[in-house]
Amino acid sequence: MDRVKEEEKQMSAVMRTISILEALSAVDGINLEQLSRMTELPKATLLRFLSTLISLGYVYRDGADMYHLTLKMFSVGSRSLNHIDLINTAKPFAKELCQSLGETVHMGILEDDYAVYVLKEESSYTLRMYSRIGKVIPLYCTAIGKIFLSEMSESELEDYFRRNPLKPFTPKSIRTHQALREELERTRQRGWAIDDEEREENVFCIGAPVRDYTGKTVAAMSVSWPIFRFDKDTFQETAERIKETTEALSKVLGYVPGE
């Protein structure tokens, strides 16, 4: 019982420390009374924690008794970013998504006017998707590609249109700039994109963005179905499942929604 209490005490201390650091990160400087209100911690308790953080170099107090974060927090975060490998970080997320939905998962990155597959988790079905890591795909007729297009400004989109005619690959391929703009707006609003047999006949895909700590979309992950295996009755639920996976991956990469 004593050990349980000690662990609970340690966990409480960690949570209080994090709450103090998060509060300090939101302001340029703050006095003890204001910080006490923000963290809902008594001043005496707050002083003990601040004293420790100051001694460790994460916080400093200026001559006006205002508390500030030091650049040590930035230094620690920067070092961790150097060790993050996008593909290796994404692999368990792609594998879990593949296992839960039973279909092939791809992740692609933007390269000039195209997307390139950098990760693939293969379906266990005998009938599978023909694709490979390194394959280059168009943007305007793929779920992964539409994610990147939906992030572009109007001027960037106009430049893309000038360089890339909307060549139809199937009868369902989008053929006009206006129709594509409307599809990109839907993509932005719902947070995921679809490829409804637009690149390959009898193939349906849903994709969602992967963001880094700056909020930039650094990749997109999609799931592909042969059209006869796609359950339209669970379409919305499936799309949200994919979006939840990429959001979880984005959080590992440091993305904080709303910031």
Q: What is the pLDDT of residues 69-100, one digit of tens each?
A: 888 877 677 666 655 688 889 999 999 999 99
Place of tokens 């700039």: 177
The whole-number pLDDT of residue 10 equals 56
Q: How far apart are CA 115 and CA 146, in angstroms?
A: 10
Alpha-carbon separation of residue 151 from 44, 81, 155 (angstroms): 48, 23, 12
pTM above 0.85, yes or no: no
CB 172 within 8 A of CB 179: no
pLDDT band at 5 (very low <50, low <70, confident <90, very high): low
The whole-number pLDDT of residue 2 equals 56
Q: How far apart are CA 222 and CA 232, in angstroms?
A: 17
Domains parsed from the chain with CATH numbers: 2-80 (1.10.10.10), 84-252 (3.30.450.40)
Q: What percent of the chain has pLDDT over 70?
A: 89
Q: How far apart are CA 163 and CA 157, in angstroms?
A: 10
Is residue 197 left, alpha or beta, with left meaning phi > 0 and alpha meaning psi from -120 to 50?
left
The whole-number pLDDT of residue 4 equals 45
Q: What is the pLDDT of residues 21-72, one digit of tens each?
A: 989 988 888 999 999 999 999 999 999 999 999 999 999 999 889 999 888 8
What is the average per-residue pLDDT within 117-130?
Answer: 76
Q: Is 141 helix (H, G, I), strand (E, B) or coil?
A: coil
pLDDT at 3 over 60: no
What six digits make up the tokens of 234?
């669970």
